[in-house]
Structure 1
């Protein structure tokens, strides 16, 4: 590995890259230079069993600093569910109510676990919206959603369950196994492999946490949806107009809400996906090829009923080749609200994570990730 402590003129970039990956370091340095305000940033990449990129920059950021990763948390939830399906504990085509009888009411009786994972269930929130305290606790979310009617007939369309999907999955997991999704993550994935990606940050590690900062409002920012629209319901806008506060709320990171309450470093998020596809330090892949194929093929595609934009989902995971053109069709993972991204690219034997502690404006984070992903793929496919 090549040590990389470079002063970009705005912030010093620390860390290392393997020979052949200097272009990724250059791309990361450009991203750091282009930040309009101080921002903590980390980038980690695994390739063929080796961590080949390990970089960080920004105030208060070290290699193992963790911050709120918002919907990157969902990836951890989906990994747990995939493992339990692989083990035969959960069946994708059984109804949610067969595991959790209280859910089988108000038009949700026939909703399958497959439909839930594909964001087809319509259980995006409640009319009066959920408070931050309620959103931090998945047991509370599940209890509020169980008697509530879906916002569309399950299976007839799809819409992003941005703050509720993990609570629904967690209740299924708890009913089926007697253990929480967070406990499965800790015991089956995080702890055995020493991964710095937490669904429930231990109090003794809270000193590693870096608060998420909001983006500076500007004239081109999207106007938040008004309460009553599906997006407002899905993101509880009346109680949480600024999503950046959510992981900074101590109860959120203590309980590890798996839709948006996880905390991680880039090292941790990249290692999680490396573990899934078997490129983490020689450890066997967590998921076998059949399970990976099932969970990463497209199940929902078209206009998202919540966001009213073209979108697509596998079983929970985002399929990313339409977002980052250089990736292959088997790349899967999940982005986070502040602009972070974590994924695996099995055909390239890669796992990638970029974490930022300040919300990005507009599409700037997609441009940042595109720059770094293109450099990474050039290094790998160029035959280093």
Structure 2
């Protein structure tokens, strides 16, 4: 059934609208999503479809899971750029308690590159803890790492924002969320929140669980994931209060606290706007990141076999290496982060493209939804004038 597509695109970006409309038609009435893109600070794509058209449209907010990490680590990049943080200092310089259980030599650079080895705790987190970065950080300081710190890497899915956030708090006296609000979100009016104010709650659209087809369900059931595997620890599925990842942002405590690893709430406009502000002039303001800073945080630091994901992954500093992870046609130095339900967001400095995508229903198989590849390819071609 044909879905009505709302919003618009700039001249030359019609193929992006066509790709979005084609996908929405394939998905039918159950699809709800948003797509936004900027090129050199100009919004060139602003589209949405589904029930949200009657419930806020392009202003609707969704749980964006690990796309939150992009907002969190833009804060870290800014503090490194300022000189407040130094990448090659040991984490214990800022946070002495972290050095227990053999973690004392780990640098901030290694922490950001998912090399700390503390992907969770032996007994898991409670609901209150997994929503509160400071509570998680306190427990992680005493945790014995699951591999030798710096010796390998694995996705610190629910805790990387708590770990880096504690470094930010120790260095500045303010939480990462507070610095983000003051320096990034509020100045640009971004609809990307790490801690959703109560007045915006009516705009939030609850995440719908995945609805896999029988063949897809068979694939999910075939994935080995023991109750004490690294993946179970990293996604807090092994303790007394296991986390239901598919409905994580539906918890009002998560939305209110805004844990920096996965608790962000955003629209596609907010995601794309974050990266547009990071790499280029936006709303008359200079880019948040200098070219050298963006290049260092985008540079590959951990690439190869991820011990948690049990697959090839590639990370810069806090960000995913977007071209290596997902879209090899992007320029070297593209950086961003996807989210478990299907969201995707990144900046490609070489083309000037900043991209954001959200969807309501958790996508199969988790992580950046497959449709992003169509949308990103069309947007990138158009950004290069080849649409």
- Give the TM-score of the pair, scaled to structure 1: 0.94
Structure number with the higher helix fraction is 2
Distance 1:75 1:364 in 2: 14
Distance 2:365 2:205 in 1: 23
The answer to whether the Cα contact below 8 Å between 2:338 and 2:367 also exists between their aligned partners in 1 is no
Q: Does 1:280 align with 2:282?
A: yes
- Offset at residue 59 of structure 1 (A): 1.1
Q: Which residue of 1 aligns with 2:375?
A: 372
- Unaligned segments of structure 1, at least 5 residues: 1-8
- Offset at residue 66 of structure 1 (A): 0.6
Q: Which residue of 2 aligns with 1:352?
A: 355
Q: Which residue of 2 aligns with 1:139?
A: 134
The answer to whether the Cα contact below 8 Å between 1:46 and 1:280 also exists between their aligned partners in 2 is no
Aligned with 1:15 (options 3, 7, 11)? 7
Aligned with 1:295 (options 294, 297, 320)? 297
Q: Which residue of 2 aligns with 1:220?
A: 216
- Offset at residue 361 of structure 1 (A): 1.5
Distance 1:168 1:44 in 2: 30
User: What are the within-5 Å matches in structure 2 for residues 103-114 of structure 1?
Assistant: 103-114=98-109
Distance 2:27 2:144 in 1: 43
Distance 2:303 2:41 in 1: 33
- Paired residue total: 376
Q: Which residue of 1 aligns with 2:335?
A: 332
Q: Which residue of 2 aligns with 1:209?
A: 204
- Offset at residue 200 of structure 1 (A): 0.4
2:5 alignment partner, SS class? strand
Task: Kindly report structure 1 stretches of 4+ aligned residues shifted beyond 4 Å.
Answer: 363-366
User: What are the within-5 Å matches in structure 2 for residues 194-205 of structure 1?
Assistant: 194-205=189-200
Distance 1:353 1:336 in 2: 11
Q: Which residue of 1 aligns with 2:176?
A: 181
Q: Which residue of 2 aligns with 1:6?
A: none
- Offset at residue 363 of structure 1 (A): 7.5
- Give the TM-score of the pair, scaled to structure 2: 0.94
Query: Deviation string for 1:134-180 (max 9, x for gaps)?
Result: 11011110111111111111110000000000001111111111000
Q: Does 1:308 align with 2:318?
A: no
The answer to whether the Cα contact below 8 Å between 1:50 and 1:279 also exists between their aligned partners in 2 is no
